[in-house]
Amino acid sequence: MTSFKNLIYTAFIISLFFSCENDSDTNFILKGNVKNLKKGVLYLQKDGKSTIINLDSVVVKGEPNFELKANIEEPVLLYLKLQKNDGQEHYIPFFADKGITEINTTLKGFSSAAKIKGSKQQVVLEAYQELMTDFKNKNLDLLKANFEAVKRKDTTTTDSLYKQSERLLRLKYASIINYALNNKDSEVAPYLALYEIPNTSAKYLDSIYNNLKPDIKASFYGKKLGKVLSDFKIAQDSIK
Residue 87, pLDDT score: 74
Residue 11, pLDDT score: 43
- Produce one character per residue of 81-120: b if its CB has 16 or more CB atoms within 10 Å, e if not: bbebeeeeebebbbbbbeeebebbbbbeebeeebebebbe
pLDDT exceeds cutoff 80 at 153: yes
pLDDT exceeds cutoff 90 at 218: yes
Separation of alpha carbons 140 and 120, rounded Å: 31
The pair phi, psi for residue 76, each rounded to 5°, is -155, 155
pLDDT tens digits, one per residue of 14-61: 443 344 334 557 999 999 999 999 889 999 999 998 899 999 999 998
Find the mean pLDDT for residues 174-189. 98
Which among 101, 95, 53, 59 is positioned nearest to 74, based on CA atoms? Answer: 95
pLDDT tens digits, one per residue of 72-84: 999 999 999 999 8
